[in-house]
Amino acid sequence: MSIATKRGDAGQTGLAGGIRVSKSSLRVEAYGTVDELNSVLGIARSQCKDENLCARTKAIQLELFRVGSGLATPSESRKPQVPITDEMVEGLTGQFTKSRRWRDYFPMVAARRASRGSFYDHARTVCRRAERCVVRLVESGETVNPNVSRVPEPPV
């Protein structure tokens, strides 16, 4: 199996609805970083033995697929926008604040070997990068679902 499409894309990629853009576009960077976050969360979940945390992580991953799809669908697309609701955002931001403080899920990275905590900490840093990518996308004048671009207050 090859990861290349072998279509000779000349540095272009397709967005939802058939729109072609440069692979260096801020939109591609934003949804690619959300995809990376989802992948890192998958690694963290594969190492997790806490059923509750695994279920919460899976719920976040499912929502992140929708967020990525929303970012990959520009307003001028023929494809309808993926709905990203207030409830989704509240659910995502509330996942790690229900029973524990944020830093309990994201401890300092383990120094000796990879651990569940280190994978979740990696996910946290990718998440922050994804947020910066979305902010750059919005600041560039691109239209983004307001629920994807809103910045919630961090939990304490």
Look at the domain 21-147 and name its fold: Hypothetical Protein Ta1238; Chain: A; (1.20.1200)
100 or 140: which leads in pLDDT: 140
Q: What is the pLDDT of residues 50-93, one digit of tens each?
A: 898 899 889 899 999 999 999 999 988 899 988 888 888 777 76
17 or 110: which leads in pLDDT: 17
Least confident of 10-19, 21-30, 36-45, 103-112: 103-112
8 Å CB contact between 147 and 90:
no
Domain map (residue ranges) of the chain: 21-147
Whole-angstrom distance, CA of residue 24 vs CA of residue 116? 32
pLDDT-based confidence at residue 146 (cuts at 50, 70, 90): confident
Q: Left, alpha or beta for 6 (phi > 0: left; psi -120 to 50: alpha)?
A: left
Q: What is this structure's pTM?
A: 0.81
